[in-house]
Amino acid sequence: MNKVFFGDCRDTMRDLIAQGVKVQMCVTSPPYFGLRDYGHAGQLGLEATPAEFVAAMVEVFALVRELLADDGVLWLNLGDSYNAAGRTGHGTRQGFKQGTNRASAEKADNCRPSVETLKPKDLIGIPWRVAFALQAAGWYLRQDIIWHKPNPMPESVTDRCTKAHEYLFLLSKSERYYFDQKAILEPVSPNTHARLSQNVQEQIGSERANGGAKTNGNMKVVGRKFDPGAGNKNNPSFDAAMAIMPDERNKRSVWTVPTQPYSGAHFATFPPALIEPCILAGSRSGDTVLDCFFGSGTTGEVAGNLGAQLDRL
Ligand SMILES: C[S@@+](CC[C@H](N)C(=O)[O-])C[C@H]1O[C@@H](n2cnc3c(N)ncnc32)[C@H](O)[C@@H]1O
């Protein structure tokens, strides 16, 4: 079922659009601005300025938008980088190639761009620049999900924190779109169970601050006595609903997913666990999932595996 097309994704997508192809969702990670040279003609990410990179991303994702079903979504993973201190020129053009291990990753990381309009050491802010440009181009910017990396690349910095996150933007083509929230519910935390199992009505609650100067009673953990006159929502049926302890809750917007060692000869591959929720929420079994920056093909592998699992159910 997987189809892999080689070439500049802009040319490929124009061909697919001409053939009338439609996809339900796209999940992708473009080359990051100025980070590394993948060593092939027409590659993106080596633009001289953030503005040029953003313009290239807008061009790419306009094509994705044409391929996307009207109720489709785009999950876009982007990381940020810092403006080089005291260097001139574009680092990636100094001949560094993609590598296969941490040493070469660090070497690639050292070839950061130097943007004249920014000060040395400035965070470039590429993810949000791209996100706002896509919003201006018509996309609905629905969410900034933080990909929290519990095993970030060590950094020898002493004047800021070690970077341990990237962004995963959820964008949609239309105001209403296909999103299977139930497919990605997560287990509730033990704290939630403890809180919901308290007998709120019998609680006295803690004293208010400022010597109890406020007169509207002691503070409780959740819930208030039902007062029809006050119009509050905590009536008996609310409390009954609270007494049913859910096992699952809506997925939160911070996703903790470890990075994985570079597989084979490829850099910056998706950890499968990062994109599984994207595919589960954004598509049904049998739908077509697009990754226009396919790299080592993680998206194809994960979509194929999930499709096979769902078919077995
Ligand atoms: C961050 S990597 C994506 C890795 C991928 N998510 C994976 O799991 O392997 C970006 C990829 O985009 C490719 N690329 C760069 N410019 C491209 C272009 N114009 N068309 C298609 N792919 C391009 C790079 O060669 C690289 O493989």
Kindly give the distance from the C-alpha atom of residue 282 to the centroid of ligand 1, in angstroms, as a whole number. 21
> What does the mean pLDDT of the chain come to?
83
Nearest CA to ligand 1 atom 1: 31
Distance CA 42, CA 139 (A): 25
Share of the chain above pLDDT 70, in %: 73
Q: Which of 231, 248, 265 is the last residue of a domain?
A: 248
> Chain centroid to CA 313: how far?
28
Q: Are 16 and 280 in contact (CB under 8 A)?
A: no
pTM of this prediction? 0.81
Q: What is the C-alpha end-to-end distance of the chain, expressed in Å?
A: 19
User: Longest C-alpha distance within the chain, in Å?
Assistant: 73
Residues 90 and 209 in one domain: no
Bridge-based pairing state of the strands 68-78 and 140-148: unpaired
**pLDDT reported for residue 94:** 33
**44 within ligand 1 shell (Cβ under 6 A):** yes
Kindly give the distance from the C-alpha atom of residue 293 to the centroid of ligand 1, in angstroms, as a whole number. 4
The b-or-e profile of 170-201 (16+ CB within 10 A means b, else e) is bbbbeeebbbeeebbeeeeeeeeeeebeeebe
Residue with the bigger pLDDT between 232 and 263: it is: 263
Residue 285 half-sphere exposure, CB side, CA atoms within 13 Å? 10
Asked, for residue 74, whether it belongs to a domain, the answer is yes
| Per-residue pLDDT tens over the stretch 280-307 | 999 999 999 999 999 999 999 999 999 8
> Using the 8-state DSSP alphabet, how is residue 94 labeled?
G
**42 within ligand 1 shell (Cβ under 6 A):** yes
Q: Are 109 and 92 in contact (CB under 8 A)?
A: no
Count of domains in the chain?
2
| Per-residue pLDDT tens over the stretch 135-181 | 999 999 999 999 999 999 999 999 999 999 999 999 999 999 999 99
Helices (H) and strands (E) in the chain, counts: 9, 8
**CATH number of the domain where residue 290 is located:** 3.40.50.150
Q: Which of 248, 274, 291 is the last residue of a domain?
A: 248
Q: Kindly compute the dihedral angle of the four CA atoms of residues 143, 144, 150, 151, in this order, to the nearest 10 degrees.
A: 130
Residues 197 and 293 in one domain: no
Strand partners, 219: 206
Asked, for residue 1, whether it belongs to a domain, the answer is no
Asked, for residue 304, whether it belongs to a domain, the answer is yes
Using the atom order of ligand 1, give the atom closest to the CA of residue 32: 1
| Per-residue pLDDT tens over the stretch 89-140 | 444 333 333 333 333 444 444 456 778 889 999 999 999 999 999 999 999 9
Asked, for residue 3, whether it belongs to a domain, the answer is no
Mean pLDDT, residues 19-32 taken together: 96
Distance CA 281, CA 279 (A): 6
Domain that holds residue 43: 9-185+250-312
Choose one of 37, 38, 279 to mutate for the ligand 1 pocket test, by most ligand atoms within 8 angstroms of C-beta. Answer: 38
**14 within ligand 1 shell (Cβ under 6 A):** no
